[in-house]
Amino acid sequence: MEIYRQENQDSLQKRVIRRDTDVTHLHLARRGLTYIPDLSRFPMLRCVWLNNNKIREVFRTSFNCCLTELYLQNNDILSISGALRHLTCLRVLLLFNNQMRCLEETVSELKNMQDLHTLSLYLNPFTQDPEYRQYVQHHLPSVRFLDRKEVKQEERRQAYKLFSVERQRVLDSIAFGRRALPPPTGRKASNSFTKPVGERDLRKRCTDSCFEDRENPSVAKSIIQFSIMNWTGTSTSQWNHLDDSSKPASDILTVKLR
């Protein structure tokens, strides 16, 4: 193991690097690496090529959080769990032709990557799952190119129907104007809000409404409450000035309709 570590460190030292902050792109492909050296000391690193090596494990401390492109294809990686979720700026990730077997674990690791638009996972064991592509499309909506193929809108809809059955059923049943019902038969539109309503008119309408509901039992019934203030009993400034104790009391008439 120490021999492999020394070889990996030598591959970095052979490159002419004056300052760590000068490194933005790092090419370490086809160097026989068995693990990823610590690259967190390069704060400006944006793109890393580690493809075509013999890497089996990926550690969280290997990369800084500002990385935007990561190429790990053609290795022997078994899992990326706990190693990449801090890379929230990642846009391109190639992981095809590795040995990853757990699809749920892999997708869960990538959920925080809101800018991830290019992802390649083919030639991993979990891609044999017939629902693999739909699962990735549903749980990673930002991905626009999956396994070198553009993700179509129709594919997203099918994936949504497959993995969000209940929500899709609700969406299919709701649309603008689809659930709007016509006015019940036999009931006319009321203009009660366009002009003042007297007490007699209100009582008459209440009586008519009750009879209509009895005649048409299919009409859905709900409780409606009206309150009317009897303004004749409201005290005026003249009564307050004369301190007239015989002023009539105000009444409130409340009517409930079902």
DSSP string, the chain: -HHHHHHHHHHHHTS--S-GGG-SEEE-TTS--SS----TT-TT--EEE--SS---B--GGGS-TT--EEE--SS---B-TTTSTT-TT--EEE--SS----HHHHHHHHTT-TT--EEE-TTSGGGGSTTHHHHHHHH-TT--EETTEEPPHHHHHHHHHHH-HHHHHHHHH--TTTSPPPPPTT-PPP-TTTS---HHHHHHHHHHHHHHHHH-TTSPP--EEEEEEEGGGS--HHHHHHT-TTPPPPEEEEEEE-
What domains, with CATH codes, occur in the chain? 2-169 (3.80.10.10), 199-257 (no CATH)
pTM for the whole thing? 0.59
Taking only the tens of pLDDT, the chain with its 258 residues reads: 455 555 555 555 555 556 888 899 999 999 999 999 888 889 899 999 999 999 999 988 888 889 999 999 999 999 999 999 999 999 999 999 999 999 999 999 999 999 999 999 999 999 999 899 999 999 999 999 999 999 998 888 888 888 776 665 655 666 554 444 455 555 444 444 444 545 555 555 555 555 454 545 555 556 666 666 666 666 665 555 555 555 555 566 676 666
